[in-house]
């Protein structure tokens, strides 16, 4: 393991002092996890639900389809219920341990941006993971937007609740799902991670059709 250290220093984007050391620990710990394949799962288009006559039943079915994206680890790992982000499809606590801090972007001395840059960063050398995901605004969703441990019905109700969704009406909620660049990251999560199903366009249309049919939620 010790022999790995110089290599690891070489592959990090921000290898300064403490952070680099902690990153190194992260690499070593993560070595036990198996690398994941990248495959894109299907997301059915909104039009495939027109056959459901009952408006509310159709709305619930549309949301359940969209939830294949929403409840995916690529999204939930950044919408955790606790103080730490989650990693991987098994949704283990982020290694090394990091804290959300007041703004969701880490605590003084250990900001997310110390390791997560403004774009996905591919490692040039062998490690247990092949890339570090990135985005200019990389950070956790506020705690009131936590999805971890919640059912699809509960997440659905929460998404409509302006006290827990950043004050968005349904139109703004749809716009966020369809256009936001952090949401977009789900389809471009960096090599070694499975993307969320379908495309952001199909996802945005499912959310729009859900709203147009009354934004009904599956039972909790
Ligand atoms: C890098 C971390 C990160 C990832 C990955 C992420 N989010 Fe978020 N999400 C955030 C942050 C931060 C906010 C709060 C910012 C805001 O409200 O504009 C947020 C807010 C939201 C909101 C608006 C508030 C709410 O919960 O109603 C929605 C909707 C949302 N995210 C959907 C998604 C979906 C869908 C995915 C996966 C495709 C996803 N997010 C992946 C960090 C993330
Ligand atoms: C010391 C370096 C470091 C710091 C600081 C750090 N991360 Fe990470 N993070 C990583 C590495 C490396 C990975 C990739 C590990 C992997 O894929 O197994 C990662 C992966 C993740 C993932 C997993 C993405 C997925 O889809 O599975 C999330 C979410 C995440 N980090 C969020 C955060 C947040 C939020 C912060 C700040 C509160 C943060 N990280 C701070 C190094 C760091």
pLDDT digits (tens, 9 = 90+) for 31-58: 434 444 567 799 999 999 999 999 999 9
100 lines ligand 2 (CB under 6 A): yes
Distances (CA, A) of 152 to 66, 131, 179, 213, 216: 10, 29, 22, 18, 12
Three-state SS string over 44-109 comes to CCHHHHCCCCCHHHHHHHHHHHHHHHHCCHHHHCCCCCCCCCEECCCCEECCCCCCCCCCCCEECC
Q: Which atom of ligand 1 is nearest to the CA of 203?
A: 35
Does residue 31 lie in a domain region? yes
* Dist CA 176 CA 180 (whole Å): 5
Using most ligand atoms within 8 A of CB, pick from 67, 78, 181 the residue to mutate for ligand 1. 78
Q: How far is CA 2 from the centre of its chain?
A: 32
Does residue 8 lie in a domain region? no
Tell me the pLDDT of the chain averaged across its residues. Answer: 87
Which residue range(s) make up the domain with 179?
16-212
Pocket of ligand 1 (CB under 6 A): 69-70, 74-75, 78-79, 104, 135, 138-139, 141-142, 145, 159, 165-166, 176-177, 182-183, 185-186, 196
Using most ligand atoms within 8 A of CB, pick from 132, 190, 192 the residue to mutate for ligand 2. 132
The count of structural domains within the chain is 1
Does residue 174 lie in a domain region? yes
Does residue 93 lie in a domain region? yes
Does residue 1 lie in a domain region? no
Could you say which residues of the chain have pLDDT below 70?
1-38
Does residue 202 lie in a domain region? yes
49 lines ligand 2 (CB under 6 A): no
Pair 130, 35: CB distance under 8 Å: yes
- Phi/psi for 210 (5° steps) reads -60, -45
Q: What pLDDT, on the 0 to 100 scale, is given for residue 38? A: 63
Q: Which atom of ligand 1 is nearest to the CA of 173?
A: 29
Does residue 22 lie in a domain region? yes
- Give the residue among 136, 138, 61 at the shortest CA–CA distance from 100: 138
Pair 60, 216: CB distance under 8 Å: yes
132 lines ligand 2 (CB under 6 A): yes
């Amino acid at each position: 393991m010790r022999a790995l250290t110089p290599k690891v220093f070489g592959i990090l984007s921000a290898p300064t002092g403490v952070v680099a050391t902690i990153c190194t620990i992260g690499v070593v710990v993560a070595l036990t996890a198996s690398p994941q394949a990248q495959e894109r799962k299907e997301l059915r288009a909104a039009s495939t639900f027109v056959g459901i006559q009952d408006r509310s039943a159709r709305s619930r079915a549309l949301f359940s389809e969209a939830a294949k994206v929403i409840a995916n680890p690529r999204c939930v790992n950044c919408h955790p219920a606790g103080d730490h982000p989650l990693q991987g499809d098994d949704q283990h606590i982020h290694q090394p341990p990091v804290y959300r801090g007041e703004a969701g972007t880490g605590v003084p001395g250990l900001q997310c941006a110390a390791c997560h840059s403004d774009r996905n960063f591919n490692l040039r050398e062998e490690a247990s993971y092949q890339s570090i995901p990135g985005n200019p605004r990389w950070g956790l969703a506020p705690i009131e937007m936590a999805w971890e441990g919640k059912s699809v019905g509960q997440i659905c109700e929460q998404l409509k609740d302006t006290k827990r969704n950043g004050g968005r009406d349904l139109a703004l909620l749809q716009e966020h799902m369809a256009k936001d660049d952090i949401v977009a990251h789900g389809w471009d999560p960096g090599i070694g991670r499975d993307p969320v199903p379908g495309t952001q366009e199909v996802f945005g249309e499912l959310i729009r059709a859900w709203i147009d049919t009354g934004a009904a939620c599956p039972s909790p």
